Structure 1
């Protein structure tokens, strides 16, 4: 059965993610659009740099066209936020992006973008799933394929970069002349950062920008374990900082001038401080389940409301659509800001970090140290543990029914299992969460010292493996 996770449907190429299944999902989306009488509003279709992504996108476009739905198809690889902007600009009924985001190279996937220019809400996803399951139950034949005479093509880069530039403080950013390394991680952002940097006069060098559907053997997720090459490149070239985006360029990662990794919690806190102090923006802060003590402290200092959501940017999008939100994000680097579409955008966030460094006249490391001296140091870590489905189920059931009294040497004070299981500890917290797309348990923790963090993460892995 085809199911949608926190952000679309993903599967292993040729096993779950097949041309037949892609066409079936495209037919379900066509049925959803037609029943809403929105076929003339149309669907925008795009694709990333993964294996067969272009061909999957062409199949989606052909199925939609065969159903009389207006279709715009990207003429090249593009970042997910560039596709989302096309949906918003064209006032389309939605968008299909062929991408598995930060998943390993054997995966591909399909994201549906809503007319408001952001992740589809749980209600939209549930509605589309019903159409998918109806087709599955009917054991339908292959959906019809049309020729491409009714498909319109578009070139995404210029319009998208214009939207990004519109958010930036150009007077400030034009003054920035320090060297920056930008890691594309062999993803859909390749060529975009260097093109924008050229327009802005920024000394930026792209790395890992070559087309490589295997991503060089490194998962295209901008977390510390995957950014060793960026760290080495920054220190070797004495760069001012290193910035990275994931496989479809909607997530941000960063390292400072010394190659130190800066996690998403720290990026949210830094940008919140900057946008409040220098840009004068209003609004609260939003973060998924694993809200850092650093973000809470920044919110308290500036009197801003802090919202906590389940994992999945679609939940952050819901808050951004309803409330005055300054910035919202997830621990994996998916961040969105106000005065933009309610969407993650790694490229935009990268250039906002450059703008921030220009405004303060300081590199990322110096800015983070100053922030930490004011608000305290919070030691955050994540581990991805491969477990069979049986073990994943047993672990989550055990945590909910008979949680442990301690993890490592830290006493467990309380357990909440509404989205994964969050354990409040004496000096921090720990989260176990089963991936919806991979045979993985993700373990997150934040403690008051690095020694405590390592002790808790080791204890958490030992506990999970005992299932």
Structure 2
């Protein structure tokens, strides 16, 4: 489902050229977007990672071995499986990484795994299991460009359902997000392994644990947002988070040393990152726990206190 966007004219040609059994369920382009189901807030939004915007495709999930969608400019992907419905973007990133590094035998042996610092820790565990170097960068796909160009990264992905990876021979395909190849990869995974991407993710959670992940907003003035963006690790005095010792306080990304415009605090089984919003008087708290949803809520509650303390509140 192209969601009425730029990929609508591509899928038919892709199917023809590669002789794929592929159906474009919604070939419409219409400036009124009358074919779109409304997003969570009642607005029309071509968000292929939203179960509300993707509702019409999710309803058809039992008709196809795999179903995929793209946003309007086709740089993001949404993966729908018969057994799991719409996959969480973090879940699919981890699944794609596990599959690609096991099956792309011509990729450089030292090609690392790129992720943004607010993407799931499941990626860290998958990369460690693969014996691949993890390159954790600030939010923004631009940080993957150099690595994808020179092959030092095989894959780069961000939690908002944007990713790209090398060609089969290990050369660069594109240095921008490509929703089409991530959608095609979901079909490849299903065809080659006989299991859906969501089944593969379930296998990953059986091995590495099942994380709970969420993003929430907290109020902040413009002055507080400016201070948050300039915090140093020394200004964060907390030594525990949700009952676990703090293992790191980051204001620079470990993968490239670039400022993250906020803070990230990690423990053995959880983390949170706080970044100011560029458009609203709030800051964003990303959090994850491998100890369950209740522990994640504790992480989120304590994250607000950590940020407040660091800002001198």
Give TM class, smaller chain.
0.7 to 0.9
Report if aligned partners of 2:114, 2:153 keep a CA contact under 8 Å in 1.
yes
Please give the per-residue CA displacement for 1:248-292, whole angstroms capped at 9, x wherever unaligned: 211223233245442333323222222233332422211122353
CA distance in 1, matches of 2:122, 2:152: 21
Residues 1:367 and 2:200 are matched in the alignment: yes
Could you say what secondary structure the match of 1:238 adopts?
helix
Distance 1:228 1:367, change over 3 A: same
Residues 1:354 and 2:187 are matched in the alignment: yes
Task: Specify the alignment match of 1:445 in structure 2.
Answer: 287
Task: Specify the alignment match of 1:392 in structure 2.
Answer: 225
CA distance in 1, matches of 2:282, 2:6: 25
Could you say what secondary structure the match of 1:328 adopts?
strand
Report if aligned partners of 2:114, 2:136 keep a CA contact under 8 Å in 1.
yes
Residues 1:416 and 2:222 are matched in the alignment: no
Could you say what secondary structure the match of 1:423 adopts?
strand
State the 1:304 CA deviation.
1.7
Distance 1:289 1:360, change over 3 A: same
Task: Specify the alignment match of 2:170 in structure 1.
Answer: none
CA distance in 1, matches of 2:179, 2:100: 17
Report if aligned partners of 1:243, 1:350 keep a CA contact under 8 Å in 2.
yes
Report if aligned partners of 2:120, 2:159 keep a CA contact under 8 Å in 1.
no
State the 1:406 CA deviation.
8.1
What does residue range 130-141 of structure 1 map to in structure 2 within 5 Å?
none
Residues 1:327 and 2:155 are matched in the alignment: yes
CA distance in 1, matches of 2:308, 2:31: 34
CA distance in 1, matches of 2:299, 2:32: 36
Report if aligned partners of 1:412, 1:423 keep a CA contact under 8 Å in 2.
no
State the 1:316 CA deviation.
0.8
CA distance in 1, matches of 2:136, 2:105: 23
Task: Specify the alignment match of 1:278 in structure 2.
Answer: 103
CA distance in 2, matches of 1:318, 1:435: 27
Choose 350-359 or 264-273, whichever is displaced more: 264-273
The counterpart of 1:318, out of the listed 134, 142, 146, is: 146
Task: Specify the alignment match of 2:127 in structure 1.
Answer: 299
State the 1:206 CA deviation.
3.5
Report if aligned partners of 2:164, 2:181 keep a CA contact under 8 Å in 1.
no
Could you say what secondary structure the match of 2:62 adopts?
coil
Matched residues, number: 283
Please give the per-residue CA displacement for 1:12-43, whole angstroms capped at 9, x wherever unaligned: xxxxxxxxxxxxxxxxxxxxxxxxxxxxxxxx
CA distance in 2, matches of 1:325, 1:459: 35
CA distance in 2, matches of 1:232, 1:457: 33
Runs of 5+ in structure 1 lacking a partner?
A: 1-181
CA distance in 1, matches of 2:242, 2:52: 30
Could you say what secondary structure the match of 1:417 adopts?
strand
The counterpart of 2:54, out of the listed 230, 237, 243, is: 230
Runs of 5+ in structure 2 lacking a partner?
A: 168-172, 253-259
Task: Specify the alignment match of 1:429 in structure 2.
Answer: 271
CA distance in 2, matches of 1:209, 1:464: 46
Residues 1:383 and 2:216 are matched in the alignment: yes
Please give the per-residue CA displacement for 1:350-371, whole angstroms capped at 9, x wherever unaligned: 0111111111112222121122
CA distance in 1, matches of 2:241, 2:112: 35
Choose 331-340 or 231-240, whichever is displaced more: 231-240
Task: Specify the alignment match of 1:204 in structure 2.
Answer: 23
Report if aligned partners of 1:327, 1:336 keep a CA contact under 8 Å in 2.
yes
State the 1:315 CA deviation.
1.0
What does residue range 163-312 of structure 1 map to in structure 2 within 5 Å?
182=1, 184-197=2-15, 199=17, 200-207=19-26, 209-212=28-31, 217-223=43-49, 226-231=50-55, 233-235=57-59, 237-239=61-63, 240-282=65-107, 283-312=111-140
Task: Specify the alignment match of 1:88 in structure 2.
Answer: none
Distance 1:374 1:259, change over 3 A: closer
Distance 1:336 1:425, change over 3 A: same
